[in-house]
Amino acid sequence: MGADHTAGFVGSDVSTPTASLVRASQSAQVHTAAMDSMGLCMFAQSGGIDKLFGAISALWGKPFGYQEWQEIGIRCLNAEMQFNRRAGLTKEDDRLPPMFYKEKLPPYHDVLSFTHEDLDATLAPFDNPEK
């Protein structure tokens, strides 16, 4: 996914279940990939996503909505993952540095509690060579 440190970022408090964070991160990644692949800044949606969809629809001359947006984001993420795999990158390359599991950071003074399996689950829908 390159070096985009914002892709898939979701905020929460420490009590949010990991499964909820995984789903939220996947959704954020799809949305960010669609924005990026259209060459749009995140501020392009400041008037509301429906207005953005209307502008794309007017430009393309055909209906455009949430379904098409999701398809673009998912296709982009699948292509990125397949590029990475073909380039020789593996799941081990998707790991966070050990410092996230060892160094307690403010404001909660806690370490990352997500497992490698949790992180794999976040990327799993996009790591499919068939798509």
Residues 82, 129: contact at Cβ < 8 Å? yes
Rounded-to-integer distance, Cα 9 and Cα 25, Å = 6
SS3 at position 96: coil
Assigned CATH for 18-126: 1.10.599.10
**Along the chain (131 residues), what's the average pLDDT of each consecutive run of 10 residues?**
61 82 90 90 87 94 96 93 92 88 88 86 82 56
DSSP code of residue 103: S
Output the pTM of the full model: 0.82
pLDDT, position 60 = 94
- What number of H helices and E strands is found in the chain? 5, 0
